[in-house]
Amino acid sequence: MSGLFGDDEPGGDPDIDDAPPPPDGPGLFGEALPVAPREAPPAAVAYRVLARKYRPTSFADLIGQEAMVRTLRNAFALGRVAHAFMLTGVRGVGKTTTARIIARALNCTGIDGTGGPTVEPCGVCSNCVGILADRHPDVTEMDAASNTGIDSVREIIEAVRFRPMQARMRVFILDEVHMLSKPAFNALLKTLEEPPPHVKFIFATTEIRKVPITVLSRCQRFDLRRVSVAELSGHYGRITAKEGRAIEPEALQLIARAADGSVRDGLSLLDQAIAQTPDGEAITAPAVIDMLGLADRSAVFDLFEAVMAGKTEQALAITDNAFARGADLGEMLGDLLDLIHVTTRLKAIPSLKDSHDLPESERVRGAALAERLSMASLGRAWQMLLKGTSEVEQAPDRRAAAEMVLIRLCHVAELPPPADLVRRLMENGAGPAAMGGQGPAPSGGGVRAVANGHAQPAAQMAPQPALQPAPRPAGPSLATFRDVVALVSHQREATLHAHLVHSVHLVRFAPPVIELNPQPDAPRDLAARLAAVLSEASGTRWTVALSSEPGEPTLAEQGDAADHARRHQAETHELVQAILKAFPGARIEAVRDSAVDAFGLPSIVPDPDAEPADFDLPPPGEEPDEPDNFWETTA
């Protein structure tokens, strides 16, 4: 029976608490009042992505990080848990997840509430539940990318002074810690070195090189490695089964490869693959290929075989089909690079063909390619593709650039390796037979050769003079490193010339070998660019090596030192001092020496054992006879 205001009396059916009371009699016109059927509102359930749903909650759930897990287990067992941890690795390998597991392991009290720190958190105590839900007052997680300043660090330092409110330890987790500013790092140093016994710091970063060494030295560092394709495939297969979906093994391999060692990235791709596949159907490899915009692995093998066989038309037909399906040809070149690497490893380590870490297609077709191809051809293809991928990234039309790279590869495949050419030339004495690929004719009068369709004794054949190479024009004289830098300037390599003057230290100059110690601001390809310019200009192959030896001062530093020495010599000369004394306010504006080169150094390299020569100036009282060295003074 309804209450006074239509509400149910206590003890009523809770399922109909909100239903209107039934009518007590007929309606206004005598008919029964209609009762609208009550429908329960649909429950809005937020979908949790797989990366959050299957986030590890214990060390046993972490995959691919056995070394770190083993160290942490032993540390907890021995009671030697560090006060600060530095977790580094690529995105998605479990840095923040590991930090939260450590926080739970430090504060878990067990099911009965009397337990201590453990590597197996119970997951049901108040501390475990609060940390899992991201609402524990004693576990502070801060994103250093959004809080880079010193004020955020001061808040942490202030909070460190207070003891925990509920847990055993106060844990501060700083994600992307490398984003902190230098003052923020400096403010954290003292607290990080001597924190209170109830405080633990856990840092996570993807850029360990940007973290100051003073911070690293105060932390126990763990490098979380990329997870292998085999481990990712097994992990994703188990998750797919838990979701009640079927997936082809090849599709798992594709997703694991695309994850590039990141568990989270692969789970996001798996989530997408499940969403695009109708319920009840298996996730197929072609569907994943279309989703990722990749080329089929078999198509990559076909392309590799066509390229290495010099079949240009077949190679372009394969790329046309891949492009029509939506594949990026730049990514296809990257797949070729990966396949060359796998094939080269199979060539170097034949036992890999029996390893289960490689997919079946690579163990079968890759091993067959490794047997047919030489190491020299694989290395040449790798170098050309490596250069070609960078060209594709810079080209306005990626497809055209990728096809040009493949066409070059097809034509180079028809050429013998450089080592074979050299060997042929050496075996045939650099004669015309070498150009035809024939071996040297055996000596002896009984040997016959074919000439004009008739067999003739070798002794009766007129000897053919060996082709003499045309004389090369004499290259530039490169007697010193300064000559080399001047040549680079003459070749209009302005950027390279500037770095050679200001950013490199000469360690050894022994043509055609140069050893340089570049400064950090020098480009990485400086040595290769310099060697290419010298080889092209001189006709001789030059080798430019990088060294860690200090070497000589840069040319700019030498020029500045020489200019300073000339100026000092001018200032201390008696004649100049007399002029400055006679004309108050006069000053030395510039010191010019016609005997120095463009770097401000003597044109002739001085003998290190000779005495330093003075400027050719007359003694006071004598008139100079148009000297080459003079000073300009300004009153």
User: What residue segments make up the domains of the chain, in order of their start?
Assistant: 50-223, 229-292, 297-413, 481-552, 571-606+613-634
Please tell me the distance from the alpha carbon of residue 179 to that of residue 146, in angstroms, as a whole number.
8
Please tell me the distance from the alpha carbon of residue 439 to that of residue 454, in angstroms, as a whole number.
20
Instruction: Tell me the CA distances in angstroms from 10 to 1, 14, 23, 630, one per residue in order.
Output: 10, 10, 21, 114
Local confidence band at 316 (pLDDT 50, 70, 90 cut-offs): very high
Name the residue among 335, 313, 316, 340 with its Cα closest to residue 389: 335
Local confidence band at 431 (pLDDT 50, 70, 90 cut-offs): very low
Rounded to the nearest integer, the mean pLDDT of the chain is 78
Reply yes or no on whether the pLDDT at 451 is more than 90: no
**With contact defined as beta carbons under 8 Å apart, do 115 and 109 qualify?**
yes
Which CATH code is given to the segment(s) 229-292?
A: 1.10.8.60
How far, rounded to the nearest angstrom, does the alpha carbon of residue 513 sit from its chain's CA centroid?
30
358-396, pLDDT tens digit by residue?
777 777 888 888 888 888 888 889 999 999 988 998 888
193-231, pLDDT tens digit by residue?
888 999 999 999 999 999 999 999 999 999 999 898 889
**With contact defined as beta carbons under 8 Å apart, do 596 and 604 qualify?**
no
Higher-pLDDT residue of 611 and 114 is: 114
Bridge-based pairing of strands 139-143 and 448-451 is unpaired
**With contact defined as beta carbons under 8 Å apart, do 59 and 119 qualify?**
yes
Find the farthest-apart pair of alpha carbons in the chain and give their distance in angstroms, rounded.
141
Reply yes or no on whether the pLDDT at 404 is more than 90: yes
3-state DSSP helix/strand/coil percent for the chain, to nearest 5?
A: 45, 10, 40
pLDDT at position 20: 55
2-28, pLDDT tens digit by residue?
444 444 444 444 444 455 555 555 555
Which CATH code is given to the segment(s) 50-223?
A: 3.40.50.300
Query: 578-584, long-range: CB within 8 Å, 24+ apart, which pairs?
Result: 578/620, 579/633, 580/633, 583/633, 583/635
Q: Which residue has the tokens 């359930």?
A: 45
**With contact defined as beta carbons under 8 Å apart, do 631 and 570 qualify?**
yes
Local confidence band at 449 (pLDDT 50, 70, 90 cut-offs): very low
510-557, pLDDT tens digit by residue?
888 888 888 888 888 888 888 888 888 877 888 888 888 888 888 888
R_g (Cα) of the chain, nearest Å: 39
Higher-pLDDT residue of 267 and 465 is: 267
Which CATH code is given to the segment(s) 481-552?
A: 3.30.300
Peptide bond into 512 cis (omega under 30): yes
Burial annotation 597-628 (CB, 10 A radius, 16+ → b, else e): eebbbeeeeeeeeeeeeebebeeeeeeeeeee
Which residues partner with 513 through β-bridges? 510, 543
Q: State the virtual CA torsion across 232, 234, 235, 241 in degrees, nearest 10.
A: 140
Structure tokens of 586?
A: 């006069």
HEC per residue, 369-394 = HHHHCCHHHHHHHHHHHHHHHHHHHH
pLDDT at position 530: 87
Please tell me the distance from the alpha carbon of residue 130 to that of residue 109, in angstroms, as a whole number.
12
Reply yes or no on whether the pLDDT at 612 is more than 80: no
Local confidence band at 309 (pLDDT 50, 70, 90 cut-offs): confident
Reply yes or no on whether the pLDDT at 433 is more than 50: no
How far, rounded to the nearest angstrom, does the alpha carbon of residue 119 sit from its chain's CA centroid?
34
40-88, pLDDT tens digit by residue?
555 556 788 898 889 998 888 888 889 999 999 999 989 899 999 999 9
Q: Which helix (H) or strand (E) holds 314?
A: helix 312-324
Q: Residue 83's CB: how many other CB atoms inside 10 A?
A: 17
pLDDT at position 623: 45
Which residues partner with 505 through β-bridges? 517
Please tell me the distance from the alpha carbon of residue 396 to that of residue 156, in angstroms, as a whole number.
49
Mean local confidence (pLDDT), 351-360: 74
Q: Give the three-class secondary structure for 84.
A: strand
pLDDT at position 531: 86
Hey, what CATH class is 297-413 in? mainly alpha
pLDDT at position 468: 46
Please tell me the distance from the alpha carbon of residue 254 to that of residue 281, in angstroms, as a whole number.
18
**With contact defined as beta carbons under 8 Å apart, do 533 and 488 qualify?**
yes
